[in-house]
Amino acid sequence: MTTTNLDLDNATITNLASQIQRRQISPRELTEATIQRMERLQPILFSFITPTPEHALMQAKEAEKEIMHGAYRGPFHGIPYTLKDWIDVKGVPTTFEGPRDPAQHYMPTESSTIHTLLKEAGGILMGKVDPGIGIERDLGGPVGCRNAWDPTRSPGTSSSGSGSATAASMGLASIGADTGGSVRHPASNSSLVGMRPTQSRISGFGVKASPLTCDQAGPLTKTVEDNAIMMDILGMYDPKDPASVNEPRYDHRAWLRDGIKGMRIGVPADNWVWKDWLSEEEELVVRRAIGVLEELGASIIEVRVPLAGESRALMQAAGGGGALYYLENFTEEQMAAWPEVRANLEASLQRPLKDHFQAVLKLTHVKQEVDAVLKEVDVIAMPTGSTYGDAWDAETATIRGRTVPARSRAVWRNGMASVCGHPAVSVPCGFGNNDKWPIGLMLHGQRLQEPLLYRVAYAYEQATEWHTRHPII
């Protein structure tokens, strides 16, 4: 394999797609450059669980042949990407970062709909990346994924490999899975764009998820337009998923450049959004970002969503769908080798039914509250839930003098969109700690309003320079 000089740091799907189509860059050259970067950075970042470089080269050669013969498939043709290791690919182990014995790993006989669609679009799978939860962190194993901006920091816990690999250009996109923020959280920690779509807008077939939970796959990319390209591919009805939204594909890039003049942006005044789980430094950066939206012509309107502050606790109390997934898909022997899952399963099964239904009832009030606000404003803007500045192995964090658990604190803000089934996107909005650690702005919209969220996110992105920065590693 020859050494290539492609500028992967500044590479995006959008700017490479036209070069690939015009045959200025070949998919093989791009894939070889990405493999070289993987080989250099994997020992530093631990992003991958199962790299697939040989398979990637085969796909790249096929894509190159197709393009040379005029069979260009679209903007994702020849583009390297990764998948969270919860998403099935036929013939590639899905470990869920779970059983320590490889013999216990699940070998899919059918690919997820996500992988099938990305393959049909011509994407080049570089491998399965660290899901970030499910096993003890251990430097000696495929765990403890690191942040590309600072390898001593966390890239975002769940879906951490998606954030780490994409920020480090070991793929120009990744698909994570977001239950309580696990697309938006690593996007914020890694200075990426991360979209949690409307619940079941992207198929859950072949994903470690249950239609009875808040689980929802979503894309992480370097830019807003790249993210919209991913949603153009993945946002479609799938009869294999019983919860799939039966809507036609949308053109998620149609409104990108329409601006936001006259748009109504709601900003929550509640302490749970700003004070309880957010540092003073993060608050300053995010409020400055909201000021940019106002400068671009949007109206900033104060709103209140007090009930939504309970979203994380209610998600846990109303849980149970995840337990059903494990019971239906794994044997007792497999779960015995996976003590972290066993503990969660038993907790779900022992929860009193009354507590479950009380939580479900409270969740309906949260949804009602947020829906009412979104009738008065077009979009809600707030800080993305993250683990800003946490060391990769941190167990606690200090927020405004208060010690809190580190790993789960992002869910307190991200949970609102999750329990409502609404789309929410995180977009980079600056850095803290002397310009070292990324911070994200979250935009939350009504059901199936992903194109509107992209429009706001793009307007903000293009008015700032955060998307032009990249980690030096």
pLDDT grade for 164, boundaries at 50, 70 and 90: very high
Is pLDDT above 90 for 13?
A: yes
Is pLDDT above 70 for 1?
A: no
Q: What pLDDT does residue 179 have?
A: 87
Question: Which pLDDT tens digit goes with each residue over 188-238?
Answer: 999 999 999 999 999 999 998 766 678 899 999 999 999 999 999 999 999
pLDDT grade for 59, boundaries at 50, 70 and 90: very high
pLDDT grade for 324, boundaries at 50, 70 and 90: confident
The letter for the amino acid at 465 is E
pLDDT grade for 421, boundaries at 50, 70 and 90: very high
Is pLDDT above 80 for 338?
A: no
Task: Taking residues 318-325, report their average pLDDT.
Answer: 67
Q: What pLDDT does residue 141 have?
A: 34
| Structure-token pair, residue 470 | 């990249």
Q: Chain-wide mean pLDDT for the chain? A: 91
Q: What are residue 430's phi and psi, to 5 degrees?
A: 145, -170
DSSP E strands: which ranges in 37-103? 48-51, 80-84
pLDDT grade for 138, boundaries at 50, 70 and 90: very low
Helix (H, G, I), strand (E, B) or coil at 412: helix
DSSP E strands: which ranges in 287-378? 299-303
Q: What pLDDT does residue 97 have?
A: 66
CA nearest 121: which of 87, 65, 77?
A: 77
Is pLDDT above 50 for 36?
A: yes
Q: What pLDDT does residue 314 have?
A: 84
CA nearest 134: which of 149, 144, 147?
A: 144
Is pLDDT above 90 for 321?
A: no
Measured CA to CA in angstroms, residue 195 lies from 47, 261, 404, 429 at distances of 20, 23, 26, 15
Calculate helix-pair angle for 27-45, 53-68, nearest 10 degrees: 160
Q: What are residue 259's phi and psi, to 5 degrees?
A: 75, 175
Query: What's the CA gap between 158 and 168, in Å, rounded?
Result: 17
Q: 334 and 293 in contact (C-beta within 8 Å)?
A: no
Query: What's the CA gap between 367 and 44, in Å, rounded?
Result: 42
This prediction has a pTM of 0.94
Is pLDDT above 90 for 346?
A: no
Q: How crowded is the C-beta side of 455, counted as CA atoms within 13 Å? A: 20
- Number of CB atoms found within 10 A of residue 7's CB: 11
Question: Which pLDDT tens digit goes with each residue over 14-29?
Answer: 999 999 999 999 999 9
Query: What's the CA gap between 377 and 387, in Å, rounded?
Result: 28
Query: What's the CA gap between 79 and 439, in Å, rounded?
Result: 27
Q: What pLDDT does residue 136 have?
A: 43
Domains along the sequence of the chain with CATH: 13-468 (3.90.1300.10)
pLDDT grade for 100, boundaries at 50, 70 and 90: low
pLDDT grade for 139, boundaries at 50, 70 and 90: very low
